[in-house]
Structure 1
Amino acid sequence: MRKVPRWAVLLLAVGIGAVILKVAVFRDAGLEVKVARAEVGPVEEIVTNTRAGTVKAHHRAKLSPQMGGLVTALPHRKGSRVAAGDLLLQLEDSVQRAQLNLAEEQVRTAEARTREACLAAGLAEKELVRGQALARDGILSPQALDALQSARDRAAATCQALGATLDEARAQVKLARAQLALTQIRAPFAGIVAECSGEVGEWITPSPPGIPIPAVLDLLDPASLYISAPIDEVDSRRVKVGQPVRIAIDSRPGEKLPGRLDRVAPYVLDIQEQNRTVEIEAVLADPASAQDFLPGTSSDVEVILARRDGVLRVPTAAIAEGGRVLVLAGGRLAERTVQTGLRNWQFTEIRSGLAAGEQVVTARESAEVRAGARAHAQAEGRAREGP
């Protein structure tokens, strides 16, 4: 019979020993669980929007001319910054200017006629005064005095009538200027031209009565941006105007900007097939930081209802129903009941039942993770590999 080499026997023994040792070690170590330490830090109670919010502008105007016409000038294009009163669009206005010139000429003519008539009325008044003096001396007959009075009255009436004509001519000038102004669009406030759908040389066709002309220009004030977001109706009594908020804009990932709650709608939206919500509006603490925001961008709002600093906290996922937690100590899991305070989706305040530094299980992934089971903490490197 062939003899087995000593080195082979030795190698086999080492291998068997290693397997036995590994089994023994893992059996003694028990379950591998995800844990986190109770630590001191801040905890906030917050309310978040139920659906994506939207960046909007308080000062935003979609502008169109009040009459049709040929576009002759567009001084400011898309993206241009304008001041209040700046010309944004000009229609062909030769007819309106001609009407204004005609009305102004009519005013000058009416002024001359009125001046002439009123001078004649003044002369007639003087003639009447002289005639009355002559009549008292018996030199002028009553019939002649009556004629002077009639002439005075006719002249005064003519002066008054031409004065009314002058007022009418001046009103026609105002009307012509108003019609001329309809050929222009001027900025109602300072802002940025967000959209310009017209072009020089195009004809803007007037709409039928009661239907507005489609907007040619879209003007908005970036300093008036705010975020509108819906919250669940059950939270409507907890949010108040002036509460601090954190705002996240989808176009600036990973960044949360401070702000405050500016408005809470006084009614509940009850759109069919949708959870009932209340609309809130939040503004940034620094309006200048919103200069590059685009209205219509998705955003989220966190309303901070309360905050406590320097309190004991654990991940919210570690707390089961009834305030029960599993604590890892001495290689075994023990169940405790804790008293909680403020909480959010990330952390919960612990008022009693735990001490700083104790390890709590953050994920109960199987029925074996229970009180009394032997366990050890998951390696930190492996924990990072999770989602």
Structure 2
Amino acid sequence: MRRSYIWAGLVTVVIAGWLASGYLLPSPPAPSADGTGKAETDKDTSQAFRVRTATLTAQEHTEELVLPGQTEADQRVEVRARTGGIVEKVPHREGDRVEAGAVLCQLDIAERTAALAQARAQLASAQRDFEAAQQLASKKYTSESQLASARAAFDAAQAEVDRIERDIAYTTVTSPIAGIVESRPADLGSFLQVGQACATVTVLDPIVVSAQVSERDVEALSLGMAGSARLVDGQTVEGRLAFISPRADSETRTFRIELDAPNRDERIRAGITARLVLPLKPRSAHRIPSSALTLDERGRVGVMTVDAGGTARFMPLEILAETREGLWVAGLPETVTLITVGQDYVLDGQPVETVPSVLGANTTPAGGLVEAN
């Protein structure tokens, strides 16, 4: 219990010493004109408060547009059967790398081979009948209609052979692109119907990082601009903006964008959460400690500054970015004297007495101000 009294006494002494130092308190009032020593009782705006200030110069700051996104495959193709049949071979497993033209599914062709042989025999017979009809027609021993019928039978037999040969070719289902077999729903011995997927092949190089950008920010983007993406697993990739949707989503009113990044070893997979970072055009800005922010009587966010005549002036600003070192803001003059301590105790147009201070390279979260000794 005695220790708590000691701490309370120390805190009281510290506060009393701080108030006695003169910061954040008005300068001593001047004696009255009648010499009685009584203080003037003018409004607060006529009193010169002592405040700490720092002189800041604008710097070139590059804004960054940070968007949540995810990785996607550059291409993803579901390879479907163009004819039906029993799956006889599946040369590749899920995860295998395949080249364009690689066989993904081979269907049984036994019945089709027999049908082709029969169709070719019928074609040969139709060809002989057509040739005989031509000879008879040249000697006027047959009519033109009989010759036309023979030609039609020959053409139909030829079309049937072509159809079966094409159908046999379709029994070999190949990959149209080089990539990785993502899935293979067709199993050995299963019946694959027309239009059913044999396998899905994906291309991961380049890897695509997609995101949605707002209507306000989309105009600041352009195709080919550099960007980067930090993945949830800690990896960082760099690339260029390859796509900006020309049409907003009807529900979210946002625009889809895509960043293409090299992924030669294909270690980055599709579907990973990412944070897309796009540097925008540089602009003139100041870096200030967050503790310097204040509000005016209209509720606007800004800072208190000191003009050349030693008068406090409120200046609204735009916050561009927040970092561990402080805030990047726009809207201030090229060079400005910023009130860093005491801005909440002075009014716009009030004279102040300034005590210069410096801002450290690493401002602290609590106030961001390192005072000069």
Residues in 2 aligned to 1:315 and 1:70: alpha-carbon distance in whole angstroms: 72
Give the counterpart of 2:228 among 247, 260, 268. 247
Quote the residue 2:106 is aligned against: 90
Quote the residue 2:286 is aligned against: 313
1:168-317 maps to which residues of 2 (within 5 A)?
168-201=156-189, 203-204=190-191, 206=193, 213=196, 215-223=197-205, 225-236=207-218, 238-242=219-223, 244-253=225-234, 255=236, 257-260=238-241, 262-270=243-251, 276-284=252-260, 286-288=261-263, 291-308=266-283, 311=284, 313-314=286-287, 317=290
Quote the residue 1:65 is aligned against: 81
For residue 247 of structure 1, report the CA deviation from its aligned partner: 3.3
For residue 76 of structure 1, report the CA deviation from its aligned partner: 2.2
Kept in 2: contact 1:247–1:299 (CA 8 A): no
Quote the residue 2:93 is aligned against: 77
| Counterpart AA for 2:321 | N
Structure 2 residue runs without a partner (length 5+): 1-9, 25-52, 306-310, 347-353, 368-373
Quote the residue 1:162 is aligned against: 150
Kept in 2: contact 1:56–1:228 (CA 8 A): yes
Q: SS in structure 2 opposite 1:344?
A: strand
Change (3 A) 1:59 1:379: closer
1:15-34 maps to which residues of 2 (within 5 A)?
23=14, 27=18
CA RMSD in angstroms, aligned pairs only: 4.7
Residues in 2 aligned to 1:359 and 1:259: alpha-carbon distance in whole angstroms: 42
Residues in 2 aligned to 1:290 and 1:355: alpha-carbon distance in whole angstroms: 51
Kept in 1: contact 2:54–2:359 (CA 8 A): no
For residue 176 of structure 1, report the CA deviation from its aligned partner: 0.9
- TM-score, length-normalised on structure 1? 0.62
For residue 89 of structure 1, report the CA deviation from its aligned partner: 0.8
Q: How many residues align?
A: 311
Change (3 A) 1:260 1:175: same
Residues in 2 aligned to 1:385 and 1:289: alpha-carbon distance in whole angstroms: 45
Q: SS in structure 2 opposite 1:60?
A: strand
Residues in 1 aligned to 2:267 and 2:276: alpha-carbon distance in whole angstroms: 18
Give the counterpart of 2:320 among 323, 332, 343. 343
Residues in 2 aligned to 1:116 and 1:190: alpha-carbon distance in whole angstroms: 52
Q: SS in structure 2 opposite 1:313?
A: strand
Quote the residue 2:121 is aligned against: 105
Structure exhibiting the larger radius of gyration computed from Cα positions? 1
State the structure with bigger RCO (CA 8 A, min sep 6), 1 or 2: 1
Q: SS in structure 2 opposite 1:268?
A: coil
For residue 384 of structure 1, report the CA deviation from its aligned partner: 8.6
Kept in 2: contact 1:88–1:187 (CA 8 A): yes
Kept in 2: contact 1:316–1:345 (CA 8 A): no
Change (3 A) 1:345 1:384: closer
Give the counterpart of 2:63 among 17, 38, 45. 45
Q: Structure 1 stretch 92-101 or stretch 344-353: which is displaced more?
A: 344-353
C-alpha distance after superposition, 1:215-243 (max 9, x if no partner): 3411122246433322234434x244426
Residues in 2 aligned to 1:307 and 1:384: alpha-carbon distance in whole angstroms: 26
Quote the residue 1:13 is aligned against: none
Spell out structure 1 runs of 4+ moving beyond 6 A. Answer: 372-382
Which structure is higher in helix share? 1
| Counterpart AA for 1:45 | E
| Counterpart AA for 1:84 | A
C-alpha distance after superposition, 1:95-124 (max 9, x if no partner): 1222223222322332233233323434x1
Kept in 1: contact 2:186–2:192 (CA 8 A): no
For residue 245 of structure 1, report the CA deviation from its aligned partner: 4.9
Residues in 2 aligned to 1:78 and 1:46: alpha-carbon distance in whole angstroms: 39
Q: SS in structure 2 opposite 1:307?
A: strand
Residues in 1 aligned to 2:90 and 2:228: alpha-carbon distance in whole angstroms: 37
| Counterpart AA for 1:235 | D
For residue 75 of structure 1, report the CA deviation from its aligned partner: 1.8
Residues in 1 aligned to 2:55 and 2:202: alpha-carbon distance in whole angstroms: 50
1:366-377 maps to which residues of 2 (within 5 A)?
370-371=344-345
For residue 200 of structure 1, report the CA deviation from its aligned partner: 2.3
Kept in 1: contact 2:58–2:334 (CA 8 A): no
Sequence identity of aligned pairs in percent?
Answer: 18
Residues in 2 aligned to 1:217 and 1:185: alpha-carbon distance in whole angstroms: 9
For residue 158 of structure 1, report the CA deviation from its aligned partner: 4.0
Tell me if 1:117 matches 2:104: no
Kept in 2: contact 1:245–1:282 (CA 8 A): no
Residues in 2 aligned to 1:73 and 1:181: alpha-carbon distance in whole angstroms: 15
